[in-house]
Amino acid sequence: MKITYYVEIFSSWCHYAEPVWADLKAHYAGRVEFEWKIALMRPEDFPASRAQCDWFYRRSGGTVMQQPTMLSSGWFEPARRGRYEAPNLVAEAGRDFGVNDDRIRLALARAALVDGQKIGDLKLAAAIGAKAAKLDAKKLRAAAESQAVRARVAASTAEFFAHRINQRPAFVLTDAIGDKAVFSGLVRYAPLATTLTAMLMDTAAYAAHAAHHGPPPAA
């Protein structure tokens, strides 16, 4: 049983979903394989101004999620024209140093969305990521700039769109008997947990049947 989480560092909805991701990992530890992959937002997916960004945050955080504090739009830089790959590249580059957990991602998301830091700058993003994972900032930045890391991010982003979805966070659940469930844009625990449990039960039922009855008869 496996769940893949498609994430973009600058996505406020991914930020709101992180506690759900942590709870799922804790509850299903040892029974489900968890992985995350970068799914870059397109330049046109980003807000066109800080005022627009704040409007989105009031809607997502205030109205929908009822958060006690508002996210910061301080990370926004008009000159970038929606090009904010840097922190996502840094998070992916962490894998080159054995950092496959959430530390770098969470530190970068907090720096941007909570503290308003302009982590579209690769040097700053690398410094924040390196501090979170206790890595050398220069080496992490060099890895983030490498063609190998850029290729992996491009591939995972293409994989995300291949599921014919466009909302982040997205969760793709697969099991050993060929079932697949896709959630795009959901940030609540209940539907994900219910589906994981159902798929685990079905997989266990198939295994029990095989143990008692063996493989199907030959044609």
Q: How far apart are CA 70 and CA 85, in angstroms?
A: 24
Q: Which one has a higher pLDDT value, 146 or 205?
A: 146
Give the per-residue pLDDT at 211: 81
| pLDDT value, residue 210 | 79
Pinpoint the alpha helices (H) of the chain: 12-27, 50-57, 86-93, 103-109, 122-133, 137-144, 147-162, 189-213
The per-residue pLDDT for range 102-144, each reduced to its tens digit, is: 999 999 999 999 999 999 999 999 999 999 999 999 999 999 9
Cα–Cα dist 53/59, whole Å: 10
Of 143-147, 156-160, 213-217, the one with minimum mean pLDDT is: 213-217
The strand order across the sheet containing 170-174 reads: 33-38, 2-7, 170-174, 180-184
Instruction: Provide the CATH number for the domain formed by 2-213 in this structure.
Output: 3.40.30.10
DSSP code, position 43: G
* pTM of the predicted structure, to 2 decimals: 0.94
Tell me how far apart the alpha carbons of residues 40 and 84 are, in angstroms, rounded to a whole number: 9
Parse the chain into domains and list their residue ranges: 2-213
pLDDT in tens, 179-203: 999 999 999 999 999 999 999 999 9
DSSP three-state, residue 54: helix
